[in-house]
């Protein structure tokens, strides 16, 4: 190889050296420079997309907090009333008063309720209203169908979490 190179004229040697330099630069570009900047651009684009997603999520969280605060009864909890009083009063105002057979405390923040011969639809609507208005949670519910859309139900209700 050295003999071949030494056998070339000076102009040809200059072309071979120049070609070798260009080839070396091309190899460095394709193996190092271009992949580095390609990955850099991809990462930069990914970061920009993630920042947009973060902004969207923060705006959505703020909207959720506003909506949560503006829902009926939001943040009211039981308004200083006992769970038993709220359950009894709301059940009676929803027309379920005659179906209440027993209502008793269950621990510090719960109540057990027995309903007999209650309309299933009316009971479910009342539970939805109780949850929306007072944030009372139903932890256990046992329903025995009695026919004609009537049921016997045993419920365990919990005060809203603070």
3-state SS of 31-69 is HHHHHHHHHHHHHHHHHHHHHHHHHHHHHHHHHHHHHHH
Compute the distance between CA of residue 110 and CA of residue 138 in angstroms, rounded to an integer: 10
Dist. CA 92–CA 98, nearest whole Å: 8
pTM of the model: 0.53
For the cut 90, the answer to whether the pLDDT of residue 77 exceeds it is: no
pLDDT in tens, 81-137: 899 999 999 999 999 999 999 999 998 889 999 999 999 999 999 999 999 989 999
Rounded CA separation 40/89 (Å): 65
- Asked whether residue 72 carries a pLDDT value surpassing 60, the answer given is no
Neighbours of 90 (CB within 10 A): 17
Please count the other Cβ atoms lying within 10 Å of the Cβ belonging to residue 158.
17
For residues 3-31, average pLDDT: 91
Where b means 16+ CB within 10 Å and e means fewer, 101-135 reads: eebeebeeebbbbebbebbeebbeebbebbeeebb
Which of 8-12, 73-77, 154-158 has the least mean pLDDT? Answer: 73-77
Kindly tell me the sign of the dihedral angle through the C-alpha atoms of 56, 58, 64, 69. Answer: negative
> Which residue is associated with the tokens 């990462």?
43
- pLDDT score at 156: 96
Is 83:109 a contact under the CB 8 Å cutoff? yes
Helix (H, G, I), strand (E, B) or coil at 152: strand
Please tell me the predicted confidence (pLDDT) of residue 63. Answer: 87
User: What is the pLDDT of the chain when averaged over all its residues?
Assistant: 90
Question: Can you tell me the mean pLDDT for 14-27?
Answer: 94
Which tokens sit at 4? Answer: 């071949």
**According to the model, what pLDDT value does residue 73 have?**
46
């Amino acid at each position: 190889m050295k003999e071949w190179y030494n056998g070339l004229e000076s102009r040809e040697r200059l072309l071979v050296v120049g070609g070798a330099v260009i080839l070396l630069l091309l190899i460095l570009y394709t193996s190092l420079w271009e992949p580095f900047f390609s990955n850099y651009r991809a990462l930069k684009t990914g970061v920009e997309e993630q920042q947009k997603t973060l902004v969207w999520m923060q705006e959505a969280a703020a909207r959720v907090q506003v909506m949560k605060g503006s829902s009926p009864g939001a943040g009211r909890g039981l308004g200083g009333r006992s769970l038993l009083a709220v359950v009894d009063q709301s059940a009676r105002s929803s027309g379920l008063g005659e179906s209440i057979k027993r209502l008793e405390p269950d621990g510090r923040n719960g109540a057990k309720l027995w309903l007999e011969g209650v309309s299933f639809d009316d009971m479910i609507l009342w539970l939805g209203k109780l949850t929306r208005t007072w944030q009372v949670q139903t932890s256990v519910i046992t329903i025995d169908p009695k026919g004609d859309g009537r049921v016997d139900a045993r419920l365990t209700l919990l005060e809203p979490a603070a």
